[in-house]
A and B are shown apart, each in its own frame.
Chain A
């Protein structure tokens, strides 16, 4: 079995290795950039302070310093903790994050696996992180961690639903579950006969987009939906007993998941890697420009997530569930109905 990467014939293991390494580097670079840009700098300017300034120019090497600090810390666990589960939990969360990147396309050929049911796959693997969080909460042998994990379980499952229902609107519009097809449908679409900017679904599916972004905020457990972490009441929720490299894994997975969801949102709603077909760019050009296009869109969307995170107080657990079940799910269902009617009518 062989596959062609940029016109060169490679054995299956070679092409897989290239894809995995390129994927890991891209994801980690993007995540690091997002952490520096938003968590360190953007937020500091919002809060009228400078943020890190010492490590490297404008503190740009701060993240490396932090990683170095975490790596050399002692591996601590509580006496009563279930050590096997305790150690596995961060890995489960992180693998759920990396599995999401598998199907996100960054160009006509730049996708690790072009699955026919890509949308379904992304939403399914993103839900796996609940398992890791529940494992962490249980294995920590800490009451705060347990409460945080149970809250996370309730919250993540509640917000899967509006997310899936919001995405259904896009799937109806594109008529496909494949992410490449969805991108192509947006790039080749037209608005009232005008095809200059394609037809990014955010224009027609703006309700679904809003619901999706709110659900993303909750899936990422960012304020105002950060009940599982809730540093002022649960100290750090399910992460409370983690330190050193295990905490680093949680940290990476939190922000990599933010990038992943933003990339999914930009693929589904903002046109993904593609520039409109009417501009007449060849596939070869798009293989170079595409990653930049989708990365820009994703980084901007992560910016929105952080902007909201640092502007709002957090909800209470019951208010959070109310918002999901009584507001977002009915809205998403109505959106599906209206989309289906319009799709059939026009």
Chain B
């Protein structure tokens, strides 16, 4: 393994250039700090190679791939029903949301549409996985800043949401519940009422976090004006989801390109923030949890009756063709490009996951910040390793 990749070459050159510049200006020697792959701030196995001058970052480069599981390739030898099991493990905190765009793409190829009741159940579970995912973000942001109490509240209240998901699907983390043409099962009796009670708890958790963490002077000092992403830069790097909305980009696929989900039926709002800093990203996600709980409340009141499965053959063979469907997942825009040649398995599957694009901005964003701010910025960008590496 002596071959040097272009990336390594580039890394070497930038490091040398940074060294030379620093040595001329300050006559100090820089230091290369390897943050990760085993590091508490990297949520798993992201590695960030940072070139430091004292505590200031001169250049930073994310190195992904330590958790690559090759789902795109494995999917080529799995039937469509089996692929949902794989994609559950992409963003493991909001698993159900990973299945939906894939199933929608397959449905488009097969030209079937889920009945309204299935559509409603999908939307409710989609939003519940968003809440389960973002609640943990709200607590984890505190941990990254050194406040370890909020995360315990987050784990406590997330469990209520996971319990509800488990009651429908049988799985806390990996529901594997979405089917081509509908959903696996109907809702259990009394589930909708219990869900509305849980949504009350979620909203009181949001108030608690706002009080405990966001209202703290120290939190504001650590996040306001830190890691600012202007809207044009956010667009250039392909940021999506709350990261883009925190930079003032009013773009939400639930509203702007809603396919096969029940969002047009409810009254809700897309939150944006003009600042684009770490605080804005936290704030937008906090509002999104509240908004999601309101969406679920409204959907729970109006779940239509009827079948939960459309008519689909027992052995699913997807007709030849290709389809691209993306949805607004907890982490941002997630899309599947499915190419079928009429077999039992997809011929090719391309997964566009949000975190991969969201962390691509780190070399731009981390330049010039201090080491403690690396952690805040990474936490506020909010990536999940499974979503980066797939």
Q: Are A47 and B152 in contact (CB under 8 A)?
A: yes
Q: Are B146 and A226 in contact (CB under 8 A)?
A: yes
Contacts of A223 in B (CB 8 A): 146-147
Cα–Cα distance between A223 and B143 once the two chains are bound (Å)? 11
Which residues from 302 to 318 on chain A have a C-beta closer than 8 Å to any C-beta of chain B? 310-318
Total A-B residue pairs with C-beta atoms closer than 8 Å? Answer: 77
Q: Are B221 and A235 in contact (CB under 8 A)?
A: no
Contacts of A46 in B (CB 8 A): 149
Q: CB-CB contacts of B123-147 with A at 8 A, as 1s and 0s?
A: 0000000000000000000111111
Q: Are B218 and A224 in contact (CB under 8 A)?
A: yes
User: Given A48-B156, A143-B31, are A314 and B145 also a contact pair (CB < 8 Å)?
Assistant: yes
Which of A224, A232, A316 has most chain B Cβ within 10 Å?
A232
Q: CB-CB contacts of B216-232 with A at 8 A, as 1s and 0s?
A: 10110110000000000
Cα–Cα distance between A310 and B153 once the two chains are bound (Å)? 13
Contacts of B197 in A (CB 8 A): none
Partner of A47, one of B39, B40, B149: B149
Partner of A233, one of B147, B218, B221, B372: B372
Contacts of A226 in B (CB 8 A): 146
Contacts of B71 in A (CB 8 A): none
Any B CB within 8 A of the CB of A326 = no
Contacts of A313 in B (CB 8 A): 142, 145-147, 213, 216, 218-219, 222
Which residues from 264 to 307 on chain A have a C-beta closer than 8 Å to any C-beta of chain B? none
Partner of B222, one of A49, A147, A235, A315: A315
Partner of A316, one of B31, B143, B149, B372: B372
Contacts of A316 in B (CB 8 A): 221-222, 370, 372-373
Any B CB within 8 A of the CB of A227 = yes
Contacts of A47 in B (CB 8 A): 148-149, 152-153
Any A CB within 8 A of the CB of B41 = yes
At the interface, is chain A mostly helix, strand, loop or mixed?
Answer: loop
Q: Are A232 and B370 in contact (CB under 8 A)?
A: no
Cα–Cα distance between A177 and B327 once the two chains are bound (Å)? 70
Contacts of A48 in B (CB 8 A): 152-153, 156
Q: CB-CB contacts of A245-270 with B at 8 A, as 1s and 0s?
A: 00000000000000000000000000
Q: How far is the CB of B26 from chain A (nearest CB, A)?
A: 17
Cα–Cα distance between A47 and B374 once the two chains are bound (Å)? 27
Which residues from 195 to 236 on chain A have a C-beta closer than 8 Å to any C-beta of chain B? 223-224, 226-227, 230-235
Any A CB within 8 A of the CB of B55 = yes
Any A CB within 8 A of the CB of B67 = no
Which of B144, B149, B213, B221 has most chain A Cβ within 10 Å?
B149
Partner of B143, one of A232, A312, A319: A232
| Closest partner residue, chain B, to A43 (CB atom) | B149
Any A CB within 8 A of the CB of B192 = no
Which residues from 24 to 56 on chain A have a C-beta closer than 8 Å to any C-beta of chain B? 46-49
Any A CB within 8 A of the CB of B375 = yes
Q: How far is the CB of B388 from chain A (nearest CB, A)?
A: 19
Which residues from 39 to 59 on chain B have a C-beta closer than 8 Å to any C-beta of chain A? 39-41, 55
Q: Are B40 and A314 in contact (CB under 8 A)?
A: no
Any A CB within 8 A of the CB of B33 = yes
Any A CB within 8 A of the CB of B371 = yes
Which residues from 333 to 375 on chain B have a C-beta closer than 8 Å to any C-beta of chain A? 370-375
Cα–Cα distance between A26 and B374 once the two chains are bound (Å)? 43
Q: Are B145 and A318 in contact (CB under 8 A)?
A: no
Contacts of B33 in A (CB 8 A): 143
Q: How far is the CB of B33 from chain A (nearest CB, A)?
A: 6
Which of A235, A311, A316 has most chain B Cβ within 10 Å?
A316
Q: Are A232 and B222 in contact (CB under 8 A)?
A: no
Contacts of B149 in A (CB 8 A): 46-47, 310-311
Q: How far is the CB of A309 from chain B (nearest CB, A)?
A: 9
| Closest partner residue, chain B, to A143 (CB atom) | B33
Contacts of B144 in A (CB 8 A): 232-233
Cα–Cα distance between A245 and B95 once the two chains are bound (Å)? 43
Q: Are A315 and B39 in contact (CB under 8 A)?
A: no
Contacts of B152 in A (CB 8 A): 47-49
User: Given A48-B156, A223-B146, are A314 and B218 also a contact pair (CB < 8 Å)?
Assistant: yes
Contacts of B142 in A (CB 8 A): 313
* 25 A-B residue pairs with CB within 8 Å: A47-B148, A47-B149, A48-B152, A48-B156, A143-B31, A223-B146, A226-B146, A227-B372, A231-B40, A232-B143, A233-B371, A233-B375, A234-B371, A235-B40, A310-B147, A310-B148, A312-B216, A313-B142, A313-B145, A313-B146, A313-B218, A313-B222, A314-B222, A315-B222, A316-B370
Residues of A within 8 A of B (CB): 46-49, 143, 147, 223-224, 226-227, 230-235, 310-319
In the complex, given contacts A312-B218, A314-B147, A319-B221, what are 14 additional A-B residue pairs having Cβ atoms less than 8 angstroms apart?
A47-B152, A48-B152, A231-B40, A232-B41, A232-B145, A234-B371, A310-B149, A312-B146, A313-B142, A315-B221, A315-B222, A316-B221, A316-B222, A319-B222
Please name the 7 residue pairs, one residue from A and one from B, whose CB atoms are nearest each other, closest first: A314-B146, A313-B145, A47-B152, A313-B147, A233-B375, A316-B372, A232-B144
